[in-house]
Structure 1
Amino acid sequence: MVFESHIGVVAFPFGTHAAPLLDVVQRIAASAPGTLFSFFNTADSNRKLFNTCANIRIHEVWDGTPRDQVFTGSHFEALGLFLKACPHNLEKAIGEAEEDTGLTICSLISDAFLWFSCDLAEKRGVPWVALWTSASCSLSAHMYTHEILQALESGVAERDEHDKIQPLIPGLEMATFRDLPPEVFLDKNPSPLAVTINKAVEKLPRSHAVILNSFEEIDPIIAKDLKSKFRHFLNIGPSILPSPIADDKSGCLSWLGKQTRPKSVVYISFSTVATPPEKELVALAEALEACQFPFLWSLKEQARESLPDGFLERTTSFGKIVSWAPQLQVLAHDSVGVFVSHCGWNSIIESISSGVPMICRPFFGDQKLNSRMIQDSWKIGLRIEGGVFSKSGAMEALNRIMTGDEGKIIRENVNVLKEKATTAVEPQGSSSKNFQKLLQIICI
C-alpha cells in the first residue's frame, strides 16, 4: 500500500503507559487509512502489546540496557538507563523509519513524560501532541508545582493531611498537600521519574495539543483551567483498552455467571508493578473471610504465599483467586458490586465506564490524589482507612458499599458519571468533537 503521509509515535515503555498510547493511535489510524504510523517503543514493552491496524508499524528502540546481556536490575534502574539513552536512540529509530518508507514524519505524538519529543518535533518543524496518561487532576497538580512549593516555602501551608491546596489549584478543593504526587516535591524526591515529569511539565505548554483518555464532564473546573494553559487541551475519552482473550481460561466469567445476586461480588486487582505487603494481604484476606461476600481476586502466584494458612480452603465456596483476570469483562459483569483497586487511571476509567464503585488502596504517583477525587470529589468510592489495609478498615469499607445506604448513593453517583462518559463519546459529545479537532491538528 502507498501511504500519503507519515506520523511518528513515541511510547514511554514503563508501567501501563504504552498501551493507552497505542490505543489512541489505533483510533486515529482507523480514521486515516492513507497515513502511516510508526510506533517507537522498546522490544520488551512491544511484546506486551498487540496491534491489528495495517497502517501502524511497530519499531523497536534501544532501552539503554547493556546489549546482548540479560538485564537483572530493578524497574527504576531500567527507567534510568532508558532515559539516559534518549533521545539519541529515538532519533536513530525515526531516521531509519523515514529512510525505509521514503516519507518524512509530518507530526509527532508521544507520551507526555517524553519531554524531549518537544525538541524533536520543533527541530523538524512539525506539530507535537502529548498524551497525558493519567487524570486531569494530576496534570493540574504538576502544572501548579511552582505555586505549591512557594506556598510551602513561605510557611503558608504545611505538607500534611490537613492543609488543603485550594485555592491554589482550581477544582482540587477537597485535596490536601499530602495527596499530591510525590514527584511534585522535586527537592524531596529527585528520582529520574520526578526529574522527567518536571521537565515534561515545562515543555507541555509548547505542545500543539495535550490529550487525555478522559472526558471534560468529570472535572469541568479543572478542564476550563487547563484549557487556558495549553494551545489545545483535549479530553478524547473514555476509550477502553480491549482485553484480548480467546476464551475464559481463568474461569472468571463462568464463575461470575454462577453468582445468584447482582452487584454481590467484590473484585480485587492491583497494578502489575505493585502488590500490598504481606501484612496487608493477610488483613484483606481476613476481612473477606469475615464478611463472606463473594470475591474474585486477581493475585500473583508468588503473593498467594502470604495469605493466611487455610484461607483458600475455607473460602472456596464463595471466593475465587486467579493469576490474571479479563478486567474489562469482569467489571462489565452484572454480578460485580465493587472494585478494590490501586487507583491507577486506566482502572478508574474502566470502573466508571462499567458503573462499579471503588475501594481505594493507592501506592504511588498520582494514585493517592486519584483516591481523594474518588471519595470526596466524585463520591464514587471510599479510601481505605489509614491508607493501608487492616482487617477492621477493609471490613468497614466493604460493608459501607455493599450493604449500607451510603453504598446505594455511591452506586448512583458512579452511574451518573457513567452516563456522562457515555454521552461524551457520542457523535456530538465533547470527546468526539475533541477527537475531530485532534485529527485537524495532526493534519489528517
Structure 2
Amino acid sequence: METIGNGNGGTVRTRHVAVFAFPFASHPTHLLNLVRRLAAAAPTVLFSFFSTERTNRALFTKRGCDNILRYDVSDGIPEGYVMQGKIHEDINYFLGVAKEEFKSGVQVAEKEVGMKMSCLVSDAFLWFSADLAKELNIPWVALRTGGARSLSTHLYTDLIREKYSELKGSIGPNDEIANLIPGVESIRLADLPIGVIFGDLDSPFASMMHKMGRNLTRATTVAINSFQELDPDVTKNLSSLFNNFLNIGPSNLVSKHNSPSKPDEFSCISWLDNQNPGSVAYISFGTKFCPPPNELVAIAEALESTKTPFLWSINKDSQTHLPLGFVERTTANGSGKVVPWAPQVQVLDHIATGVFVTHGGWNSVLESIGSGVPMICRPLIGDQPINSWMVERVWGIGVWIEGGKFTKHETCCALEQVLSVDASSKGMKERIGVLKDLAHKAVGPNGSSTQNFKTLVDVITR
C-alpha cells in the first residue's frame, strides 16, 4: 500500500470514507472527479481512494484536495507475466483479487488514519462492495458512469433472459421488442450489452455485470452520470427500485466550470476558427477502441468525396491505415486536420463544429448534448449500441450509420443528412438544442442534478 497526503491540514476530521475504483477505461477518472467534488463540498470528511498503482500514478499527477488519500491495491497480474492479448484479460486478473485487496486496504487505511470507515463509495461494477459495507455496518454509495437505459439492461438481465428464452426461435437479434425492459418502450436485442443474452455469459466480466444488477438494490444510494430530464420514464422506474437514485450529471458540464482546460497542443481551435459555422465534422472514437482499417478508409473517402471539412482525432498507429496521401492532400488544401488528440469539449463547443462522428460512448453522448452537436454513431462495444439507439430512435438527435459499419456510400449519406439544411437536419439541431438547455439547467444553481448532489453530500456526511 502507498499513501499520498497526510489527511490533516489542521482540519478536524469528522468522517472517513472508503472509495473503491474500477481501474479501467475512464471509470477511475470519473470516480475521482466525483470524490474531488465531494471533498470540496465536505472538507471535514477524509476520503481514502483505492485503485491499482498504475491507475493511481496517472490519476494523481497533480496534487488533489488535502482530504483525499491515495492507496494502491494489487492488479492481480502475476509478476513477470506477459499479457496474451485476450479480451478482458487484465480485468479478469483484477477481479480475481479485488474483493480481498480492497478489504485489506480498508484495514490498512483505518489503522494509519486512526479512524473507522463511515461510508463506502464505489464504482457500481464492484458489486461485492455491498457485502463489505454490510460487514462494516456502513452505507454503500454506488456510482454508475453509464446511462440509465444501459443500467436497466443489467438490472433486468434475468427478466430479459426469461423473455428471450420464451421468444427464442421466433425472433432474431435485429428484431425490435416492445416492453422488454420496464420504462423502455422498445429495443433491438442486438443493442443489448454483450453478456446480457449474447456472448460468453459465464465470463468473469459478464458475471460481474450480472452480479452488479442483482446487488445494486442493496445500495444506500445509486448515483448516475446523467440528468433526470434526459430519460424521465426510465428514471421514474429506477427510482422505484433503489433506496435513493440520484442523477448528478452531466459530469462534463460540472467539470467544465470547475477544472482548467488542457492545452490545445495541436492548435485545433485556431484551425476551427477559420472554418464556416456548422460545417465541420469532428471525428473521434475515444482512446481504447477504433473501427477496423477498411472502415477508416471508408470515412476518409467519404470526407473527400463530399468535400466535408473535418477535424479527426486518431492515434498515430491508426493513422497508418488512412489512404495514401489523404492526410497530406487535406492538410494542403485546408479542408482537414488529423491530430493524435483534440480538446473534445472545446471542439464540440466551437461554432464551426456541425456533427460529431462517434462510437456512442456515454461520455461522448453527454458531451455532444452539452454542446448541442448532432451525432453520427458507429457503436463498437459495451453500452455504445444502446446509447446509439437512443440518439437516433428515442431522442432524434443524430443517426446510426446504416448497416452498422462505415462504407463510403453510407458515410456520405450520413454526413449529408446531418450537415444539410433540410427539415430533417433542422429537426435534429432543434431537438439537441432543447436537451442542451435542459442539461445546463440541471447543473445550474437550482437544477435537479445540483440538488441531487447536495443529497449525496448529506448521505456521506450523516
Q: Shared topology, TM-score over 0.5?
A: yes
Name the CA shift for 1:159/1:27 in 2 (closer, same or farther; >3 Å). farther
Q: Counterparts of 1:172 and 1:250 in 2: how far apart (Å)?
A: 42
**Structure-1-length-normalised TM-score:** 0.95
1:28 aligns with 2:38: yes
Q: How does 1:266-277 map to 2 (within 5 A)?
A: 266-277=281-292
| Aligned with residue 106 of structure 2, among 83, 89, 94 | 94
Q: Give the deviation of 1:140 after TM superposition.
A: 1.0
1:427 aligns with 2:427: no
Deviation track 1:327-382 (CA, whole Å, cap 9, x = no partner) reads 11111111111111111111111111111111100011111010000001011110
Q: Give the deviation of 1:244 after TM superposition.
A: 5.7
CA contact (8 A) 1:299 1:324 kept: yes
Name the CA shift for 1:256/1:411 in 2 (closer, same or farther; >3 Å). same
Matched residue type, 2:125: F
| Aligned with residue 308 of structure 2, among 282, 289, 293 | 293
In structure 2, what is the equivalent of residue 209 of structure 1? 221
Deviation track 1:135-169 (CA, whole Å, cap 9, x = no partner) reads 001011111212211111112762421232x2232
Q: How does 1:164-179 map to 2 (within 5 A)?
A: 164=177, 166-179=178-191
Q: Counterparts of 1:369 and 1:331 in 2: how far apart (Å)?
A: 22
Name the CA shift for 1:159/1:230 in 2 (closer, same or farther; >3 Å). farther
Q: Give the deviation of 1:4 after TM superposition.
A: 2.0
In structure 2, what is the equivalent of residue 306 of structure 1? 321
Q: Counterparts of 2:198 and 2:297 in 1: how far apart (Å)?
A: 34
Deviation track 1:281-311 (CA, whole Å, cap 9, x = no partner) reads 1101101111111111011101111111111
In structure 2, what is the equivalent of residue 158 of structure 1? 171
Q: Counterparts of 1:279 and 1:182 in 2: how far apart (Å)?
A: 24
Q: How does 1:213-362 map to 2 (within 5 A)?
A: 213-240=225-252, 241=255, 247-259=263-275, 261-316=276-331, 317-362=334-379
Q: Counterparts of 2:43 and 2:90 in 1: how far apart (Å)?
A: 35
1:442 aligns with 2:457: no
Q: Counterparts of 1:197 and 1:184 in 2: how far apart (Å)?
A: 8
Structure 1 residue runs without a partner (length 5+): none
Corresponding residue pairs, total: 441
In structure 1, what is the equivalent of residue 4 of structure 2? none
More divergent stretch after superposition (29-38 vs 240-249): 240-249
**Structure-2-length-normalised TM-score:** 0.92
Task: Indicate the SS of the match to 2:357.
Answer: strand
Matched residue type, 1:302: D
CA contact (8 A) 2:179 2:186 kept: no
Q: How does 1:82-121 map to 2 (within 5 A)?
A: 82-121=94-133
Task: Indicate the SS of the match to 2:436.
Answer: helix
In structure 1, what is the equivalent of residue 399 of structure 2? 382
CA contact (8 A) 1:174 1:372 kept: no
CA contact (8 A) 1:265 1:296 kept: yes
Q: Give the deviation of 1:395 after TM superposition.
A: 0.7
Q: Give the deviation of 1:188 after TM superposition.
A: 4.5
Deviation track 1:4-51 (CA, whole Å, cap 9, x = no partner) reads 211111110111111111111111111101111111111222233245
Moved over 4 A (4+): 241-246
Task: Indicate the SS of the match to 1:389.
Answer: coil
In structure 1, what is the equivalent of residue 56 of structure 2? 46
In structure 1, what is the equivalent of residue 6 of structure 2? none
Name the CA shift for 1:182/1:420 in 2 (closer, same or farther; >3 Å). same
Task: Indicate the SS of the match to 1:173.
Answer: strand
Name the CA shift for 1:204/1:159 in 2 (closer, same or farther; >3 Å). farther
Q: Counterparts of 1:65 and 1:378 in 2: how far apart (Å)?
A: 42
Matched residue type, 2:162: Q
Q: Counterparts of 1:362 and 1:246 in 2: how far apart (Å)?
A: 27
Deviation track 1:64-89 (CA, whole Å, cap 9, x = no partner) reads 0123x375343611111000012111
Matched residue type, 2:140: W
Name the CA shift for 1:18/1:159 in 2 (closer, same or farther; >3 Å). farther
| Aligned with residue 199 of structure 1, among 211, 216, 221 | 211
Structure 2 residue runs without a partner (length 5+): 1-8
Q: Counterparts of 2:108 and 2:159 in 1: how far apart (Å)?
A: 43
| Aligned with residue 72 of structure 1, among 76, 83, 87 | 83
In percent, how many aligned pairs have the same letter? 46
Task: Indicate the SS of the match to 2:184.
Answer: coil
CA contact (8 A) 1:174 1:373 kept: no
Q: Give the deviation of 1:57 after TM superposition.
A: 1.6
Name the CA shift for 1:53/1:129 in 2 (closer, same or farther; >3 Å). same
Q: Counterparts of 2:397 and 2:155 in 1: how far apart (Å)?
A: 26
Matched residue type, 1:162: D
